[in-house]
């Protein structure tokens, strides 16, 4: 048996598909509370009808109305584990003088920030795509008086999710940044990588997108759907895995080496389609928050130009 077939067999073995429908947008999303966090930062709690619960969002508010919004997603733990842009980078200082609202949702660990087709015994009702593309932006626009223009960025697990959300959200996001992640395809290797994230959180990949390689998987295949990113500002960054000056924290060279290869492959796909993108392949960097922080700093001017 080839390696790819073995991966697919393993994924199929753990999948037990349960019937279910996809959530639709509900106009009932609303702010349930706000807690000041110092300066222009606040925790804004938003009720999600799609998920039937309140989601915390760390927000850095712009100095006045009419600013665009950057939705900034974190890694595999969803930020609830205390590992996030908010906790591990200079995000509050960096954006303090930028005319932009920065919204950092807390939650979504091991979910790929997508809509799962069925509720899962381990992770519950997962409708992050609906929340991030249909519910939260309207609430933020109303609460902060934005200009209605948005960018989305993700790192590690959420890098591929940011690309998928930029595709699924249509005109919702004018710009996207994918940092140190692994964009997926609905092929055996891509299925195995995406499924591994759900399994790490105790979830069943069959409850996420159904039969491996089936229609819902193909709908979220960012390589197959890359053409739908045309017209958006796209920033891609990853490194080789070799430790470097920007690294801070525990280095994870193998993860970054894989991310570097995946990101380069996706940049190649965009080039094949004639879609412009900025692709930064760093000679050093080993999947640390120091590297991610440097990448966000470099990505911001490209994102800002598209949404300001």
Q: What is the pLDDT of residues 184-241, one digit of tens each?
A: 999 999 999 999 999 999 999 999 999 999 999 999 999 999 999 999 999 999 999 9
The per-residue pLDDT for range 262-282, each reduced to its tens digit, is 999 999 999 999 999 999 999
Look at residue 4 in the predicted model and tell me its pLDDT: 42
Q: Give the rounded percent of residues in the chain with a pLDDT score beyond 90.
A: 90
Domains delineated in the chain: 31-307 (3.40.50.1820)
Q: How far apart are the C-alpha atoms of 116 and 102, rounded to whole Å?
A: 26
Look at residue 249 in the predicted model and tell me its pLDDT: 86
For residue 216, with 0-12 CB atoms within 10 Å meaning exposed, 13-18 middle and 19 or more buried, which class applies? Answer: middle
Q: How far apart are the C-alpha atoms of 93 and 87, rounded to whole Å?
A: 12
Choose the weakest-confidence range: 155-164, 244-253, 281-290.
Answer: 244-253
For 266, the token pair is 């996706």
For 158, the token pair is 């959420």
The label of the residue with tokens 């922080």 reads: 293
Look at residue 27 in the predicted model and tell me its pLDDT: 59
Q: Is the pLDDT of residue 21 over 70?
A: no
Q: Is the pLDDT of residue 23 over 80?
A: no
> Are 127 and 48 spatial neighbours (Cβ–Cβ below 8 Å)?
yes
Q: Is the pLDDT of residue 152 over 80?
A: yes
* Average pLDDT score over residue span 150-170: 98
Look at residue 7 in the predicted model and tell me its pLDDT: 42
* Average pLDDT score over residue span 148-153: 98
């Amino acid at each position: 048996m080839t390696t790819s077939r073995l991966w697919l067999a393993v994924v199929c073995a753990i999948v037990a598909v349960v019937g279910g429908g996809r959530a639709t947008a509900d106009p009932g999303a609303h702010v349930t509370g706000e807690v000041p966090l110092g300066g222009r930062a606040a925790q804004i709690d938003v009720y999600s009808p799609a998920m039937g619960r309140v989601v915390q969002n760390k927000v850095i508010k712009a100095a006045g109305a009419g600013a665009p919004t950057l939705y900034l997603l974190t890694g595999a733990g969803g930020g609830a584990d205390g590992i996030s842009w908010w906790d591990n980078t200079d995000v509050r200082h960096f954006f303090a003088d930028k005319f932009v609202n920065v919204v950092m949702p807390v939650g979504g660990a091991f979910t790929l920030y997508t809509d799962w087709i069925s509720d899962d015994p381990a992770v519950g009702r997962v409708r992050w795509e609906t929340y991030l593309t249909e519910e939260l932006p309207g609430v933020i626009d109303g609460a902060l008086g934005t200009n209605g223009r948005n960018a989305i960025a993700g790192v590690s697990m959420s890098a591929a999710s940011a690309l998928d959300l930029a595709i699924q959200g249509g005109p919702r996001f004018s710009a996207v940044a994918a940092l140190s992640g692994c964009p997926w395809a609905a092929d055996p290797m891509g299925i195995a990588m995406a499924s591994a994230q759900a399994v790490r959180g105790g979830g069943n990949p069959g409850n996420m997108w159904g039969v491996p390689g089936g229609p819902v998987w193909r709908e979220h295949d960012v390589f197959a759907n890359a053409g739908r990113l045309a017209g958006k500002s796209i920033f891609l960054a990853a490194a080789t895995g070799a430790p470097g000056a920007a690294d801070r924290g525990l280095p994870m060279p193998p993860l970054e080496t894989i991310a570097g290869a995946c990101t380069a492959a996706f940049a190649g796909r965009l080039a094949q389609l004639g879609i412009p993108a900025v692709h930064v392949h760093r000679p050093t960097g080993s999947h640390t928050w120091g590297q991610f922080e440097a990448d966000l700093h470099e990505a911001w001017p490209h994102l800002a130009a598209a949404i300001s």
